Structure 1
Amino acid sequence: MKKYLLIAAALALTACGGQTTKPPVTSTPPTSQIPNAPFNQQQTAKLIGDWTFNFELTNKYRLKYTLSDLIENPNPDGNYNVSGESEGGSVVTASYQSQYSHFLLSEYAGGGYTNYLYIFTFDSANSVHGCVRIFKGLDVLGCLEMTGTRTSATPTPLSLRH
């Protein structure tokens, strides 16, 4: 299912023309903690930590994510993934997509549930902006403006999250 979400992410990014609802910020994301690692791995490692993502549909949403496990082997496209989970326990995968110079975070909550795909860039070391696509069954909502804040650079241990 992770492959499905990453394929959906690539399609969503392509459908947006590689753009979010705001133009990409040219500032550099925070420095990675992995010296001498490939560029794409360093970029993906910048996502590790606890995050809160905010967006508005009919109500204001504030969803929390913990990204903790950098997957050491790259995908066939040379991109790396970091995995984690949502506050509700759903599987989360995130990565830096070098072909678009954007970051992606996908939450897969399972069939019949709402799933989220965030496409974003860094504003600063602990702040991101972009858009979120919401998947509910076969319905897909367009790119809604979102912001995100890293609340901790150290992922909260699983035993303390719930």
Structure 2
Amino acid sequence: MEGIVFMSSVKWLLARKRKNSWNKDVYDTSYALAALADTGTQDRDGCNWLYEHYCPSWEQVGTTSLLITALKKQDNLAKSKDFETFIRERAEWILSKRANDGGWQYISTSNLAIQALLLTGFKDELEPSIRWLLKNVHENGSWGNQTDDVNATALTLSTLGLYNKT
């Protein structure tokens, strides 16, 4: 049963792609490509759309991190290095935007950046960022602006899990 639901969801997502993107949107396209890669589905046209449409308005740490994650997951799946130079340059740019304390301005942005950088092979450079994350946990075990921020806490746990796996 799970396989049927899984495949119908992949088909549903692919059916919503128009002119090589999802809603002509960097976020929708990045999330779709990353999810498809996680399901073993390649989509080079979507990757090309992200690469070709990269522009200054997307040059924010969180946005660029999502884009890198999508391209890297798709490149890994395809066993190619089609976007390797672009990914490396953008990853180095993200790393250059890190604050002296090891984080990026917001906890969620920091998580997206760390995840992208881990996927691109920058684990050694991320120890200060992991320390920053751990230092910013609330007494109750949550992360984020509030002590009940489920999204920030879940994102941080995913980041820490990925860090431990790499």
Task: Give the alignment's TM-score, normalised by structure 2.
Answer: 0.25
Larger radius of gyration: 2
Task: Give the alignment's TM-score, normalised by structure 1.
Answer: 0.25
Higher relative contact order (CA 8 A, sep 6+): 1
Higher strand share: 1
